């Protein structure tokens, strides 16, 4: 019963404001929260730290990728080459 009561007391998902933020050229300084992420503090190139409220943190750092059909591929570096994250017109890569 407790599980059902807890579920019934949750806010309507249509009323929850969600955003996605992709942050480039920064590094994490700290993650705040107890039992979950409430915010992350990032070091910017400006030297001024910035704290961003959040509920989920994902990392994408220098992972090697597999060849994908139809896309250019650099076998020496195991990556899809891009210029300013642009692979080709209308196609971008991050991480």
pLDDT tens-digit profile of 32-55? 999 899 999 999 888 899 999 998
Res. 68: pLDDT tops 90: no
d(CA 64, CA 21): 23
- Give the number of other Cβ atoms within 10 Å of residue 40's Cβ: 20
The pLDDT assigned to 20 comes to: 79
pTM score, whole prediction = 0.50
Kindly list the distances between the CA atom of residue 14 and the CA atoms of 18, 64, 92, in Å, as whole numbers in the listed order: 10, 37, 30
């Amino acid at each position: 019963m407790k599980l059902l009561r807890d579920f019934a007391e949750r806010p309507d998902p249509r009323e929850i404001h969600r955003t996605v933020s992709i942050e480039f050229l920064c590094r994490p300084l700290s993650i705040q929260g107890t039992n979950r992420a409430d915010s992350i503090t990032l070091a910017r190139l400006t030297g001024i730290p910035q704290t961003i409220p959040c509920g989920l943190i994902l990392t994408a750092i220098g992972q090697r990728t597999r060849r994908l059909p139809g896309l250019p591929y650099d076998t020496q570096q195991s990556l899809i080459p891009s210029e300013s994250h642009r692979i080709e017109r209308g196609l971008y890569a991050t991480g």
